[in-house]
Amino acid sequence: MSVTIRIAGPSDAEAVADLLRARDATSYASNAVTHYLADFNPERITVWLAERAGQPVAMNAVYRRSLESPVGSLAAGYWAHLFVRPEARSLMVYPQLVMAMLRWAQSGGADLIYTATRQQHVADAHLKLGFVKIATIPVLVRPLRPGRLVMSRSRALLRWAGWAAPVVDASVSAGRAAIRLAGGVAAARTVQHDDRADAHLASLQSRLTGYIRTSWTASDWLARFSCTIEGYPYWAAVAPQADKPEAGVLMRIAERGEPKIRAAVVLDLIDCSVGKAHARSLLRWVEERAEDAGADAILVASPSAEAECCAYRSKGYWTSPETYNLVYRPTSPRGQAESLRDAAAWRFSFAEHDAF
């Protein structure tokens, strides 16, 4: 029996939510999923639904973005949420969904489609469909509970030495707290976390220039980062100088794997001050929020600019074995500009991706 593919709307919210629950083995609330998918607003997202005998078996989506680039503003689609139920994977649904997305883009929907994935086999499949690799982006990690992290990756260690993880992690946490005492008061004075922080951060990102990056409007930023797919809030903080925000950070809590690893994720850190003067204070704030939330580690996509990496290194972040493949496919003549293949020109953060 053949599969039919169509664009989903608000009336399909529950079917789409069921697919995402199956993908992630998580009981997401329907209203949180709907909000996360931009309320199916066609000006912000396009979602495709694949059905067999009237039953949803797969989905795909692109978030509409406007990219700043050397050739001017580009209409772009950020590709996300591709999922095919296991029982439908022999039906060639994956390429059909991708072709539907590309037809939409080529008919005027976008100048290019881009995405990032940490699964190498998925990246390889994208390349076979005409996508071009832009960059390999390392993930930086700041372990908070190293004992639990190590045990989660080795069932043998968990079985024979699982008792040691809480002891190791308690010692590390106590040492970290002692080191932080001296600078804690000063850091607290430079970080503002209230209802205005999100709006300030939306304004700050508009000051970034010279990169290929999403040009967020303040309203789109605030709508996008008001609620995670799990229904949790995003957390934002800014660092003011003379009451004018000069830097800010956006973060969230995410879980992955089995047993579950709880991670704090730095979605974006923007420091427009001279010498990146506020980044360390903001990262200290992230660490405190992460510890309060019981996170095992903090994750961030490594910035391409060396100056931005320095703050992370100084706060104990190291390069993990995990990487993301950033790929794109031009879908209009403007999207074929050679400058779009320059990895160093891109500013990619987890604010684009938000799936871990």
Looking at per-residue pLDDT, the higher value among 184 and 19 belongs to: 19
The percent of residues in the chain predicted with pLDDT above 90, rounded, is 66
Q: What's the pLDDT score for residue 155?
A: 52
Q: What's the pLDDT score for residue 153?
A: 55
> Per CATH, is 4-110 categorized as 3.40.630.30?
yes
Q: What's the pLDDT score for residue 209?
A: 85
Task: Assess whether pLDDT exceeds 60 at residue 162.
Answer: no
The residue count for the chain: 356
| Residue type for position 48 | W
- What is the chain's mean pLDDT, rounded? 86
Give tens-digit pLDDT for 287-345.
999 999 999 999 999 998 787 888 999 999 999 999 999 999 999 999 999 999 999 99
Are 141 and 296 in contact, with CB atoms under 8 Å apart?
no
Q: Helices 279-292 & 164-190, crossing angle to 10 degrees?
A: 140
Question: In what helix (H) or strand (E) does residue 18 lie, and over which residues does it extend?
Answer: helix 13-24
> Per CATH, is 139-323 categorized as 3.40.630.30?
yes
Reported as a pLDDT band with limits 50, 70 and 90, residue 73 is very high
Task: Return the closest-CA partner of residue 277 out of 247, 237, 303, 313.
Answer: 247
Task: Assess whether pLDDT exceeds 70 at residue 123.
Answer: yes
4-110 and 139-323 share one fold: yes
Q: How many CB atoms lie within 10 A of CB 86?
A: 8
| Residue type for position 315 | K
- Give the residue carrying structure tokens 């580009």: 74
Q: What's the pLDDT score for residue 240?
A: 76
Phi then psi for residue 145, to 5 deg, are -125, 75
Reported as a pLDDT band with limits 50, 70 and 90, residue 156 is very low
- C-alpha–C-alpha distance, residues 312 and 188, integer Å: 19
Average pLDDT over residues 22-51: 95
CA 184 to chain centre: 29
The ranges assigned to domains in the chain are 4-110, 139-323
Q: What's the pLDDT score for residue 192?
A: 63
Burial class (CB in 10 A: 0-12, 13-18, 19+), 185: exposed
Task: Return the closest-CA partner of residue 16 out of 41, 46, 42, 47.
Answer: 47
